[in-house]
Structure 1
């Protein structure tokens, strides 16, 4: 499928925008396939909803409310891919007591299909992380953490391809640099690889070799850093690469009410989204594929 451009709509509007010279009326008459991407990031062990008297997030979030929302969306949409951008661990006593077991079991029950690794996944050390892999019934993706000399090596893949009604979706993961952020003894012999070089190789494989229709990056690099303009982040990753269609971000707890459009290295448009933290929001991006290799994209953040 040839390279496509993306446009976003506002949170208040559900109007679709036609791309590539395709009008909305003609789009309706074509055979289309719809793919719904749902995503979270930085849930940080917030299993329960916030108390109703919480000053900032009264009654918001919680696995039960998220599960109901996901179930409803899946009833209404046949092709759904549920993803996470890391830091599902650490933040409440649930992690202190269960060490990540409960988080991974609940993510599995909710139907997550892939996640990447956040820095807080190392809070009980790499051995503590590895001990929880038995509870993860979804794929752990990290292309720029080299685990070959660690206990995590058997559990992590750089990318995964998902087939949804004939739509071939390639997903790969990226993690933030651990040095200076996480104690070396916690991640041991894990080697951090350059995210831009890694992404270039990932999209070569996913676009050129595997011929994926859509390429998604699960990024725990952070959305942007105002005080560190040269630090790699989602905005810079988009700018320095090509052929990534959607970057689902994490780490900086950035609340975006809808995806941001960035230009890549060849002046094509990339969608970037991040939905804050603590499971308060669920990100949603709908892609409509027509039989003429054009796409319509529609994204927003949904309050849980």
Structure 2
């Protein structure tokens, strides 16, 4: 009898534990292990599909979508979890846009399998109807939380945020655009309503962190890196908000060799990165998630796109 009771206790110990483990959600396993995530990004590509010409200028021979696509695919082959984003101003800057109004740019991003983009001021340059036409060809969402398109042709064609799942991680991503007044002609942005970005960012980031239980929150921003006045920039955004982990920036064509840290309202670090313009660089940030903590790889940096 003692032997039977002993065996029964061992049986319950083993299979009772298995039952408890079996009842855990998959996310519980994901958060208990070490998971890596590589974030790639561009900004202000401005219709630069070809490399810069070999004319002896500073950027001669740099950039080009074929080289960028090759680099992205190489990283995807090396890393298990990759997300690819753009921070706006896909359009305007070369004859490709003058001739084709943005279609080659969007199709190239489709081929490279971008996960999302936000909207820059120059993306309005072909007019609202052209945005509808070209964005409609995208295989990825355009994320913008502070433009209200309700009374325009763009109504319902963007999302404020999207959540991406990678190996058990939930990555919340939202977009912010720059104030159009004084920057974009009224006839191009029409009845688009600009919503104050700091209030919007705090509200959306809180939803992603607290309601949606995201492990990491990213803002795709076309606000600009930094200004000498009170204009809201990425640095201001980081310091005046909560719940944002990373700001991928655009608009000011700022070259950052590596991400910078700015403390938020809770005294926690927010990463900011921006990689110039024209697709000369591909931003790369490598993260490791382990037991509720996130570590940024020391070698996270801008990768030059060249032959």
- TM value normalised by structure 2: 0.87
1:124 corresponds in structure 2 to 126
Task: Determine if the alignment matches structure 1 residue 109 to structure 2 residue 111.
Answer: yes
2:286 corresponds in structure 1 to 286
Q: How does 1:213-252 map to 2 (within 5 A)?
A: 213-226=215-228, 229-252=229-252
1:146 corresponds in structure 2 to 148
1:94 corresponds in structure 2 to 96
Distance 2:52 2:214 in 1: 39
Secondary structure of the residue aligned to 1:182 is coil
Q: Contact 2:240 / 2:264 at 8 angstroms: preserved in 1?
A: yes
- Structure 1 unaligned blocks of 5 or more: 1-29
Q: How does 1:52-63 map to 2 (within 5 A)?
A: 52-63=54-65
Deviation at 1:162, TM superposition (A): 0.2
1:269 corresponds in structure 2 to 269
Q: Which one is further off, 81-90 or 48-57? A: 48-57
Change (3 A) 1:176 1:261: same
Equivalent pairs, count:
272
Deviation at 1:40, TM superposition (A): 0.1
1:169 corresponds in structure 2 to 171
Q: Contact 2:87 / 2:249 at 8 angstroms: preserved in 1?
A: yes
1:4 corresponds in structure 2 to none
Q: Which one is further off, 44-53 or 244-253? A: 44-53
1:24 corresponds in structure 2 to none
Secondary structure of the residue aligned to 1:254 is coil
- TM value normalised by structure 1: 0.88
Secondary structure of the residue aligned to 2:156 is helix
2:295 corresponds in structure 1 to 296
Quick check: which has more Rg, 1 or 2? 2
Secondary structure of the residue aligned to 2:77 is helix
Distance 1:114 1:57 in 2: 27
Distance 2:204 2:56 in 1: 42
Distance 2:171 2:295 in 1: 16
Residues 231-282 of structure 1: CA deviation (Å, up to 9, x unaligned): 1000000010011000000000000000010011111100000000000000
Q: CA RMSD in A?
A: 0.9
1:260 corresponds in structure 2 to 260
Higher relative contact order (CA 8 A, sep 6+): 1
1:48 corresponds in structure 2 to 50
Secondary structure of the residue aligned to 2:295 is strand
Q: Contact 2:206 / 2:242 at 8 angstroms: preserved in 1?
A: no
1:20 corresponds in structure 2 to none
Deviation at 1:52, TM superposition (A): 2.3
Task: Determine if the alignment matches structure 1 residue 39 to structure 2 residue 56.
Answer: no
2:182 corresponds in structure 1 to 180
Alignment counterpart, residue 64 of structure 1, candidates 55, 63, 66: 66
1:16 corresponds in structure 2 to none
Higher helix share: 2
Residues 117-139 of structure 1: CA deviation (Å, up to 9, x unaligned): 00000001111111112321101
Alignment counterpart, residue 193 of structure 2, candidates 191, 194, 210: 191
Deviation at 1:285, TM superposition (A): 0.5
Deviation at 1:51, TM superposition (A): 1.5
Question: Could you list the runs of 4 or more consecutive aligned residues of structure 1 that deviate by over 3 angstroms after TM superposition?
Answer: none
Q: Contact 2:50 / 2:63 at 8 angstroms: preserved in 1?
A: yes
